[in-house]
Protein backbone atom coordinates (compact mmCIF):
# COMPACT_ATOMS: atom_id res chain seq x y z
CA UNK A 1 0.00 0.00 0.00
CA UNK A 2 1.01 3.62 0.03
CA UNK A 3 3.52 3.53 2.92
CA UNK A 4 4.89 7.02 2.32
CA UNK A 5 1.39 8.54 2.38
CA UNK A 6 0.41 6.58 5.49
CA UNK A 7 3.61 7.68 7.25
CA UNK A 8 2.87 11.31 6.28
CA UNK A 9 -0.70 11.01 7.59
CA UNK A 10 0.55 9.58 10.89
CA UNK A 11 3.18 12.29 11.25
CA UNK A 12 0.59 15.01 10.54
CA UNK A 13 -1.93 13.62 13.03
CA UNK A 14 0.70 13.34 15.76
CA UNK A 15 2.04 16.84 15.01
CA UNK A 16 -1.39 18.51 14.86
CA UNK A 17 -3.08 16.71 17.75
CA UNK A 18 -0.18 16.07 20.10
CA UNK A 19 2.54 18.48 18.98
CA UNK A 20 4.85 15.45 18.91
CA UNK A 21 7.16 14.27 16.14
CA UNK A 22 7.04 10.77 14.65
CA UNK A 23 9.88 9.02 12.84
CA UNK A 24 10.39 5.62 11.25
CA UNK A 25 11.82 3.18 13.80
CA UNK A 26 14.19 0.24 13.43
CA UNK A 27 12.71 -1.46 16.53
CA UNK A 28 11.01 -4.77 15.73
CA UNK A 29 7.37 -5.53 16.47
CA UNK A 30 8.51 -8.26 18.84
CA UNK A 31 10.63 -5.82 20.88
CA UNK A 32 7.77 -3.34 21.09
CA UNK A 33 5.31 -6.03 22.16
CA UNK A 34 7.46 -6.78 25.20
CA UNK A 35 6.15 -3.51 26.69
CA UNK A 36 2.67 -3.19 28.17
CA UNK A 37 0.65 -2.07 25.15
CA UNK A 38 -2.84 -1.58 23.75
CA UNK A 39 -4.31 -2.00 20.27
CA UNK A 40 -6.93 0.05 18.49
CA UNK A 41 -8.68 -1.01 15.28
CA UNK A 42 -11.11 0.56 12.85
CA UNK A 43 -12.60 -1.23 9.87
CA UNK A 44 -13.12 0.34 6.47
CA UNK A 45 -15.82 -1.03 4.18
CA UNK A 46 -17.12 -0.09 0.77
CA UNK A 47 -15.11 0.20 -2.43
CA UNK A 48 -12.12 -0.95 -0.37
CA UNK A 49 -12.43 -3.35 2.56
CA UNK A 50 -9.88 -3.59 5.31
CA UNK A 51 -8.74 -2.52 8.76
CA UNK A 52 -6.34 -0.05 10.33
CA UNK A 53 -4.60 -1.20 13.50
CA UNK A 54 -2.60 1.05 15.84
CA UNK A 55 -0.52 -0.70 18.51
CA UNK A 56 1.08 1.55 21.14
CA UNK A 57 2.86 1.06 24.43
CA UNK A 58 0.62 2.34 27.22
CA UNK A 59 3.30 4.85 28.25
CA UNK A 60 2.92 6.61 24.87
CA UNK A 61 -0.88 6.55 25.05
CA UNK A 62 -0.73 8.00 28.57
CA UNK A 63 1.46 10.89 27.33
CA UNK A 64 -1.02 11.51 24.51
CA UNK A 65 -3.87 11.35 27.03
CA UNK A 66 -2.43 14.16 29.10
CA UNK A 67 -2.18 16.31 25.97
CA UNK A 68 -5.66 15.46 24.65
CA UNK A 69 -7.63 15.21 27.91
CA UNK A 70 -5.59 17.40 30.25
CA UNK A 71 -6.47 16.92 33.91
CA UNK A 72 -9.32 14.58 32.98
CA UNK A 73 -6.74 11.93 31.99
CA UNK A 74 -5.79 11.39 35.62
CA UNK A 75 -9.45 11.23 36.67
CA UNK A 76 -10.25 8.65 33.98
CA UNK A 77 -7.25 6.48 34.87
CA UNK A 78 -7.00 3.31 32.81
CA UNK A 79 -10.11 4.15 30.78
CA UNK A 80 -8.20 7.17 29.40
CA UNK A 81 -6.00 4.71 27.47
CA UNK A 82 -9.08 3.27 25.77
CA UNK A 83 -10.51 6.73 25.01
CA UNK A 84 -7.26 8.18 23.65
CA UNK A 85 -6.20 5.17 21.59
CA UNK A 86 -9.72 4.88 20.18
CA UNK A 87 -9.62 8.54 19.16
CA UNK A 88 -6.16 8.26 17.59
CA UNK A 89 -7.00 5.16 15.53
CA UNK A 90 -10.32 6.72 14.50
CA UNK A 91 -8.60 9.88 13.22
CA UNK A 92 -5.85 7.91 11.48
CA UNK A 93 -8.42 5.56 9.95
CA UNK A 94 -10.49 8.47 8.66
CA UNK A 95 -7.47 10.10 7.06
CA UNK A 96 -6.35 6.80 5.51
CA UNK A 97 -9.89 6.15 4.24
CA UNK A 98 -9.66 9.47 2.38
CA UNK A 99 -6.83 8.13 0.15
CA UNK A 100 -8.66 4.87 -0.64
CA UNK A 101 -11.28 4.27 -3.35
CA UNK A 102 -14.66 5.82 -2.56
CA UNK A 103 -17.22 5.32 -1.29
CA UNK A 104 -15.88 3.81 1.91
CA UNK A 105 -17.21 3.84 5.46
CA UNK A 106 -15.39 3.80 8.77
CA UNK A 107 -16.50 1.71 11.75
CA UNK A 108 -16.44 2.77 15.36
CA UNK A 109 -13.03 2.06 16.92
CA UNK A 110 -12.38 -1.05 18.98
CA UNK A 111 -9.62 -0.98 21.63
CA UNK A 112 -7.98 -3.96 23.32
CA UNK A 113 -6.08 -3.19 26.51
CA UNK A 114 -4.60 -5.73 28.87
CA UNK A 115 -1.60 -7.47 30.32
CA UNK A 116 -1.40 -10.35 27.87
CA UNK A 117 -3.41 -10.71 24.70
CA UNK A 118 -3.12 -11.66 21.06
CA UNK A 119 -5.31 -9.96 18.51
CA UNK A 120 -5.97 -11.70 15.21
CA UNK A 121 -7.85 -10.34 12.23
CA UNK A 122 -9.08 -13.23 10.12
CA UNK A 123 -9.29 -13.27 6.32
CA UNK A 124 -6.94 -10.35 5.83
CA UNK A 125 -3.55 -9.62 4.32
CA UNK A 126 -1.23 -7.03 5.85
CA UNK A 127 -0.59 -4.52 3.05
CA UNK A 128 1.22 -1.89 5.14
CA UNK A 129 3.32 -2.37 8.26
CA UNK A 130 5.03 0.69 9.68
CA UNK A 131 7.20 0.73 12.79
CA UNK A 132 7.49 4.27 14.07
CA UNK A 133 8.61 6.02 17.21
CA UNK A 134 7.64 9.09 19.14
CA UNK A 135 9.86 10.44 21.91
CA UNK A 136 11.98 7.27 21.65
CA UNK A 137 8.91 5.07 22.20
CA UNK A 138 8.14 2.65 19.34
CA UNK A 139 4.62 1.99 18.02
CA UNK A 140 3.18 0.35 14.94
CA UNK A 141 0.49 0.99 12.39
CA UNK A 142 -0.79 -1.86 10.23
CA UNK A 143 -3.23 -1.79 7.35
CA UNK A 144 -4.95 -5.02 6.45
CA UNK A 145 -6.91 -5.66 3.28
CA UNK A 146 -9.80 -8.10 3.57
CA UNK A 147 -9.59 -10.95 1.08
- Which is nearest to 117 in space by CA: 38, 49, 26, 45? 38
Task: Print pLDDT tens along the chain (147 aa).
Answer: 589 999 999 999 999 999 999 999 987 766 666 666 889 999 999 999 999 999 999 889 988 988 888 877 677 677 778 889 999 999 999 999 999 999 999 999 999 887 666 777 888 999 999 999 999 899 999 999 998
Q: Which domain holds residue 70?
A: 3-146
pTM for the model stands at: 0.90
Which residues share a beta bridge with 39? 55, 112
- Number of domains observed in the structure of the chain: 1
Task: Report which DSSP code applies to 142.
Answer: E
Burial of 18 (0-12, 13-18, 19+ CB in 10 A): buried
Q: What is the CATH number of the domain that holds 140?
A: 3.40.1550.10
* pLDDT score for 73: 67
* pLDDT score for 48: 96
Amino acid sequence: MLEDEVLQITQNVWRCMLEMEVHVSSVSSKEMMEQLHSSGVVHISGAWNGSVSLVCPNTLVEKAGVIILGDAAAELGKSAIVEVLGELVNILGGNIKAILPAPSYLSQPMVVDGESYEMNLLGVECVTHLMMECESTPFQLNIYQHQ
